[in-house]
Amino acid sequence: MTGAQGGAKKGRFITLEGGEGAGKSTQIARLKTFLEERGRAVVTTREPGGAPGAEMVRKLLVEGPVERWDGVTEALLHFAARREHLRSTVWPALKRSDWVVSDRFADSTMAYQGYGHGVDRTLLDKLYGIAVGDFRPDLTLILDLPVEMGLARASARRGNETRYESLPRDFHERVRKGFLDIAAAEPTRCAVIDATADVDAVASAIAEAVTLRLKA
């Protein structure tokens, strides 16, 4: 695969997705260690963010009142940040043959803005084509758990980034359905991981999926 401006991709791009409180940050750290123990150079990153300009956009998206933006504005901001993230961080790392592990990517925009806020999914596909091109993750791990459990976990570690967590439960139920629909539609790229299990069990399931899918 090639990025729109990224050239030939030599490394591997893994994304972790899921609703609030799914434990992505913890599992990314575990996956980084797993890959490094097998001789891979690993870059960990996140969306929105992952590059200086994209981190500035992140603050606009994840902090402040719920009513700050509508779904379309959110989607535009996410794709602007994503373009900068790819250009500055992801594509250069892949060219170096590094493995890149990202906390969220475009599936989150489809789940949150498309399913959650009801933004036209065809519009989101068009924005993807403009900002990202034909570039896709090599593997997407979707950490799935019931909404109630995820929101409780998220509340326990609450900081300043509470804008999405503050949205109503039915929004988060739609987001969860979105992730599961994406996984069902693209089983070759996506693997659903049971995030209700303990940290070690989730890490083991992720390591197994990465080993089988990418021969890590």
Cα distance between residue 32 and residue 12, in whole Å: 13
Confidence of residue 65 (pLDDT cuts 50, 70, 90): confident
Residue 34 pLDDT more than 70? Answer: yes
Reference 161, options 68, 94, 62, 90; nearest CA is: 62
Contacts of 89 (CB under 8 A, 6+ apart): 43, 45, 50, 51, 100
Residue 9 pLDDT more than 90? Answer: no
| Cβ neighbourhood burial of 149 (10 Å; 0-12, 13-18, 19+) | middle
pLDDT, tens digit, 9 for 90 and up, residues 137-166: 999 999 999 999 998 888 776 655 567 777
| Cβ neighbourhood burial of 76 (10 Å; 0-12, 13-18, 19+) | middle
> The pTM is what?
0.91
More confident call, 68 vs 8: 68
pLDDT of residue 57: 96
Mean pLDDT (the chain) is: 92
Are residues 156 and 23 in contact, defined by beta-carbon separation less than 8 angstroms?
A: no
pLDDT of residue 161: 55
pLDDT of residue 4: 39
pLDDT, tens digit, 9 for 90 and up, residues 90-142: 999 999 999 999 999 999 999 999 999 999 999 999 999 999 999 999 999 99
End-to-end CA distance of the chain: 18
Mean pLDDT over 38-48 rounds to 97
Residue 208 pLDDT more than 60? Answer: yes
Are residues 142 and 190 in contact, defined by beta-carbon separation less than 8 angstroms?
A: yes
Cα distance between residue 163 and residue 81, in whole Å: 17
pLDDT of residue 5: 47
Q: Which domains are assigned to the chain?
A: 2-214 (3.40.50.300)
Q: How many CB atoms lie within 10 A of CB 116?
A: 25
pLDDT of residue 114: 97
- Identity at 140, one-letter amino acid code: T
pLDDT of residue 21: 87
